[in-house]
Structures are given as structure tokens and as C-alpha cells.
Chain A
Amino acid sequence: MEITEGRSVSTRQLCFFLAFLLPVPKLLEAPALLAYYAKDDLLLPALAHFTLQAGMLAGIVYLSSKTDKTLFQLLADKWGLWAAKTAYFLLSAYYIFFSLLPLLGIERFVYTAFFDSAPSLSAFAPFFFLAAYAATKSLKCFARICDLAAPLFLVAFFGLMLLAVGEADFTALMPLFSSSPRSLSLGALRSFPHFSDTALLLPFLGYYRYKRGDGKKILLSYGAGSCFVLFFLAVFYGIFGAVSQLQPYAFSKIAGYFGGLAVIGRIDLLLVYLTTILLLFYYCLPLTLSVHCFCKAANIRNRIPASAVICLSLLLLTVFFNRLYSGLYSFVTVFAVWVFPLFAYGAPLTCLLTLLPARERRKKRRA
């Protein structure tokens, strides 16, 4: 059996990841995007995504309850080594593709929230140094970040919501189902890049050992994370109403309308800083997974060169696409949007197929 770096991820860490780290990137650009298409029904496409993703997550948990193998082993045992290697190369490429738009998004967000005018592009470079370091580490290290993320998220999220909720007029969400089915489905389709969580969990297979009762804990944690996002969406629309679609980085200013801040200053920015740190941690994950999958597929033990090459390439891509952001945005959310459901739904379902008995065994059983 493959060495999985000491069964590194505990149930607690996985639950913390689902409840406290997965919701964070959804607070950035997704609310304005959903409001643009679904208007006051913006909760519905989000709810649909969460429900479907919860189904996929249940499938992955079921898979981990049935086998202790890693994803690579599962694929290799079922379809051969080359199939497993190809799948891992594809996953590695997918994680880079997955990161591209959010990285440009967070870069633009930081420039908007923390800078008064446009800074130089190199200001965002430290993130790639951090990601390059994180990517050389095992998944166990990332799991430890989840422990750290829990208190940071709770302080930042509830702090921001406490300051913001008083300004929100929740009746702005009325009437339910006022948007056309076309707008709702378009909102759901375009927001796929923000709600494709399960693809990130596949490489954790085999690094986490299933125990009795874990299924409930994991699904409840995902449910809690989803509730945080839905509550944020409701407060967001309650505050901005008809101009919600103009607020791509709402969480940086959502608490700024609290009356007391005029006297004591923008202390809410401390909470925004905390959330941004969580975002940086979160965006290290796809890069870590990309390096992990690449090294596995290419059978490379030393991750440092692979990490350096991948992170440097992404840094160059970020600088290159910075000037072509709207073109890349249209490409990812319109022409290449099918890639996200392919990996977020297709990949887990394919993994579930590995549980089916082989054809020969089935024949024998029938005989």
C-alpha cells in the first residue's frame, strides 16, 4: 500500500475546512454575480449548488468509508497505472485553471479594499512565494491550517455580520421566485466556478480515515458552511438592494455602514484583513493540490522544483491576464464553464464507479 504521509487529515480538520474555509471565497465575487443574474432570488442558485455539492460530498464520504486507498490507488487498481497518471495530470491542470480567476479576483479585491489607487502588479507577488512554500508541504500541513482557520473565521465572519446586520432590510429579498427560471439557471451556470468544492476534496481520499459517525459530522459541517454563505447573501442583498450587482467586493464594506464606526474609525477593516488572510490560505490549497497531483503523476519525490515552476507560471499568468481580465472572465464563465461541473460532479461520480465490482467478478457471481 502507498504511504500516505501518516494518515494526516483528521475528521475535525476536514469539518473545519468545510465549515470555516470553504465559505470564505464565496463571499468575494459570487454575491454580486448572483445578484446580477438572479436579483432578489440570489439565494436560490446558491442553495441549488450547495444541495448538489452536498450530494457529491456524501458520495465522497461513502467512498472513503468503503476504502482506505488514495484516489491514485483506486484509479490504478481499477483502470491501470496510466489511467491514474492521466487522471492526476488532468487534475493538476484543473487546479491551475480553477485558481486563475479567483487569484485575479483576490488581487483586484486587495487593490480595491486596501489601496487608494492602483498599485504595481508586483504587489501581489508575495502570495505566490507563500503558495510555493505551502505547495512543497504535505496535505497534513494544509489540514493544520484548517485548525487555525476556525477561530479566525468565527471572529471575522460574526464580527462583520454583527456590524452589518442592523443595516440590512431583509424584505428586499421578497418576493421569492420573482426571477425567471432562465435568469436563475443562468445565475447557477455562471456561478459554477465559485461553487465547485468537491473537486478539491478528491485528493484527500486515503489521507483521511473514516470513522463511524463521521458522515453526519462532515455533512453537517458543510451545511454550516453553506448557511454562513446564505446568511451573508441575505445580509448583502438586504443592504445593497437594487445596486447589489455593483458591489463585487461587498464584504470589505458591508460592515462599514455601522453608525458607530464614524466615531471609532474603520475597525471593521481588521476583520476584513482576517478574512483576506483566510482567503490567501484557501487559495494555497488548489496550488498545493496541483503540485501534489503533478508530482504523483510524474512520480517526482522532491516537490520543490515542481512547486517553483507551477507557482512561477501562475504568477506570470496572473500578470499576463491582468490586462485581459474581462476576456479571461468571459472565457472561464461562459465558454469553459463546463470544466467546473465536469470535475466537481464528473470526477466524484467516476470515483464512485471504482466501487463497482470488476466485470469478471460480476460474471463469476452471476454464474
Chain B
Amino acid sequence: MLKNSLRRKNATRYYLILIAFLFCFFFSNDFGLIDIQKTAIVIAAAIDRDGEDFVLTSQIAVPQASKQGEQVQPVQIESRGKTVAEAFSKVNAKTGWYPKLVFCNLIVLGKTAVERDVFEGLDFFLRDEYMADNCSLAVYEGEAKEILSSKTPIEEIPALAVQKVLSEHAARVGTALPVTLRTFSASHYSSAKSGFIPILKKEQASGESSSSAGQGNGNGQSQNQSGGQSQGESKETIFSASETALFKEGVMVGKLNDEQTFALAAIKRDLRLAGFFTGEAGNNYTLLVKKNENKIRLTIDKNAQPKLFVQTTVTAGIQDNSTPSTVTELAEEGSLPPALKKAAEKKLKRTVEEVFQIAKDCGADVFGATEMLRKYQSKYFSAYHDNLLSRVQLFVKIQFRALR
């Protein structure tokens, strides 16, 4: 009897051990064993259009043995299809590699892709259950594949160099307004049907612009060009994303230059240690923005007039100026002279108004006014939501506060 009981107990133990063993496989994705020879780990994708076709360039990380150990080499594969999914499936047909999108952290949209609804292509990534939706989005005003085939001194793989200029750090210092697939999709599918995506620019590593697409507005970008240097001397490029493309119903309808991008960042996002350039009495100043506090509010007055109040308080100090400073001025670096404060406030206010005018002209509600109308003034929503931007009055209040 005791023997029987022991045998039964042992059977239960073996059964439980078998379950635990099988669960290990179940939870561990078979310990993540993937045949690297048959798998293409897509780390970035570039989308261009050729008529009705999608031209997809996938940047694939390929591990290769070298003297320094194993290194990752990027490989670009171009494929075409009537849909993005078809183009991806052709990667497999062409190379024998099965494309995996789990590590795809960047999608670059070319000029031809943003001229029509970008969600003709982007919705594939929203549908794909195996892809994270926090990959960065960027626009390039040329062929998007050029970005992925660039050579850059920053990283071995250009997609990683691009991700650096679209990082959270870049957002904090106000040099770019990065968005992810999730945030852009959420704003696109909101009542405003608008959004923005940073525009990538290519520059030669020496400082000369090498991008034919980047000629549109070189505001502040190519000021340090070294005149006599020819393009052939160095083909290595670096990236910037200080301009921003505005979207309405998925189509690019306008763009903001670097100053306007900074102004939009100053009223919408939290800045830390950002540089703000201004001038006063013929002297150029760089202010270091320690932090900012934003408030955007939409109200409807008694006459049913919608009013948009944009209020930002910027805490900043002088970081540098273009003329020599006295010892006393250097000692008071945290203070802001009243004239400089006024000039900075005036400049930022003017730029915010410019942003609003551009948004109004192209109908892209980057201020989120339509969403505020839906959330807080919902009884006016049906009447105003189609033409809110053309009706609304803007009131901007910018305040600069000294560090000390």
C-alpha cells in the first residue's frame, strides 16, 4: 500500500516536472532560437512611392565575423509591391531571409510617400502584431532610401545615427520634435486628423550640405559651410532633424523651419538645457533654457468666439554672447537683463504666431485646438470642428524668467 502511494506521488512529481519543462519552452519562445542564416532583422525601413507601387528599402543587420570579433554590417534590400506587406514578402523571395520587424525602430518616408496619405503604407505597421509601435518616424524630402544608404561617421549603421537625432534627448533640448508611430497615429486618428513628423536633412560631415533635398530651407543649417570644399572629398554624411513636416489627413501640407520647430517644442513639450538664440542691441545671445512650463487652453466667449490661449514660462539664463563680457556680467550669468528678456519674449512670441499662421494656412492643427474643443467645449464641436483654425483667435503670452 505504501509502495502504491509512493508510486502515485512519484507519478505526480514527474507529471509536474514535465509541465514545468514544457512551460519553459512555451514562455521562452523556444529560448528565442532563431536561424540567423534565414532571418532578416529589419532595423529600419524607408518607404517611397513609384506611381501606385510602394518602393520599400529595408535596412537589415547582418552579423559578420571580423578580427575584432563579431560585427553587425547593414545591408539594404529594395523591393516593390502594391502594398508594403507585398514589398516585405519580396525581401524573403529575393534573399531567402524572413524579414523580422521586432527590432524595426525607424521608418523614413520619402517625398513621394508624403505627397499622398502616408497611412496607405503606415497602416501595415499598425496591423503587424509583432512590431512595436514606438518606432520613430521621419520624413526625407528626397528618396527615403538615400538615408539608409548613406555613410556616416556617427555609427556603422545609418539608421542608428538617425535614431540619435530623433532621440528623447533631442526632444528635450528642442533640436527636433520626434514622434513615434503610436503618437503620430493617435493624432492622425483623433478629431484633428493632423500631426507632425521631423524632416531629416543630410549634411556632409565637414559641414557642407550634400542633400539636394535639403536646399529648401537651410535656415541656420548650412551657415558653417566651408566654401571651397568639393563634395567629392568626403562622402560621409551626418543627419539633422530640426525642421518639421505638418500633416493633414495623412498628407504633408506644410513645414516648419528650425526656429519654428523650437517654438512649437517650447509650447508643447518639456525642454531641458535647450539653447535659444536671440539678439539685443546688435549683440547675439545664446540663452540656456533650464525648464519651461506650458499651458494651452481653448475657450469660447459670450459671442461664441473661440479663443486659443498659449502661455509659456521659460526659465533661462545667458549661456554665451558674441561680445566680450565684463567680470561682473560673467558672475551674473543666471540673470537676464530686462531688455534681453523682452527681446527673447518678443522673438519667441513672434515665432509662435508664425507657427500658428502656417498651421492655419495648411489646416494642420498642431496646437491640438480641435481636440480641446472636443474635450472641453463639446457642445460647439459639431459647429466648429471643420474650420476651427480659421475661426479661432490666438493669444500668446511668453514669459522669460531668470535663473536667479
- Mark contacts of B8-22 with chain A using CB atoms, 8 A cut-off: 1 yes-contact digit, 0 otherwise: 000010011011001
Find out whether the CB atom of B19 lies under 8 angstroms from the CB atom of A123.
no
Please, how many residues of chain B have a CB less than 8 angstroms from a CB on the other chain?
36
Set of chain B residues within 8 Å of A355, measured between Cβ atoms = none
- Return the 3 tightest CB-CB contacts between A and B, nearest first: A126-B22, A174-B375, A242-B189
Given contacts A117-B130, A130-B19, A243-B126, 16 further A-B contacts (CB under 8 A): A110-B26, A112-B130, A114-B29, A116-B32, A126-B23, A129-B18, A133-B19, A174-B375, A178-B378, A240-B186, A242-B185, A242-B188, A243-B185, A243-B186, A253-B133, A276-B27
Residues of chain A having any CB pair with chain B under 8 Å: 110, 112, 114-117, 119, 123-127, 129-130, 133, 171, 174-175, 178, 240-243, 246, 249, 253, 256-257, 259, 262, 273, 276
Chain B interface, >50% SS class: helix
Find out whether the CB atom of B22 lies under 8 angstroms from the CB atom of A129.
yes
Distance, CA A276 to CA B23, complexed state (A) = 12
- Min Cβ gap A262→B in Å is 8
Find out whether the CB atom of A112 lies under 8 angstroms from the CB atom of B98.
no
Distance, CA A259 to CA B34, complexed state (A) = 28
Q: Answer whether residue B387 sits at the interface, using C-beta atoms and an 8 A cutoff.
A: no
Set of chain B residues within 8 Å of A171, measured between Cβ atoms = 375
- Min Cβ gap A160→B in Å is 16
Residues of chain B having any CB pair with chain A under 8 Å: 12, 15-16, 18-19, 22-23, 25-30, 32, 34, 98, 100, 102, 126, 129-130, 132-134, 168, 182, 185-190, 374-376, 378
- Min Cβ gap A115→B in Å is 5
Q: How many A-B residue pairs have CB under 8 A?
A: 78
Distance, CA A275 to CA B181, complexed state (A) = 26
Distance, CA A246 to CA B181, complexed state (A) = 13
Given contacts A175-B374, A175-B375, whether A116 and B100 have CB atoms under 8 Å apart is yes
Distance, CA A243 to CA B122, complexed state (A) = 13
Set of chain B residues within 8 Å of A129, measured between Cβ atoms = 15, 18-19, 22
Find out whether the CB atom of A243 lies under 8 angstroms from the CB atom of B15.
no
Find out whether the CB atom of A133 lies under 8 angstroms from the CB atom of B15.
yes
Chain A interface, >50% SS class: helix
Chain B, Cβ-Cβ closest to A123: B26
Distance, CA A248 to CA B140, complexed state (A) = 32
Find out whether the CB atom of A241 lies under 8 angstroms from the CB atom of B132.
no
Chain A, Cβ-Cβ closest to B375: A174
Distance, CA A126 to CA B129, complexed state (A) = 23
Set of chain A residues within 8 Å of B26, measured between Cβ atoms = 110, 123-124, 126-127
- Min Cβ gap A338→B in Å is 31
Find out whether the CB atom of A273 lies under 8 angstroms from the CB atom of B98.
no
Set of chain B residues within 8 Å of A112, measured between Cβ atoms = 129-130
Distance, CA A114 to CA B19, complexed state (A) = 18
Find out whether the CB atom of B15 lies under 8 angstroms from the CB atom of A123.
no
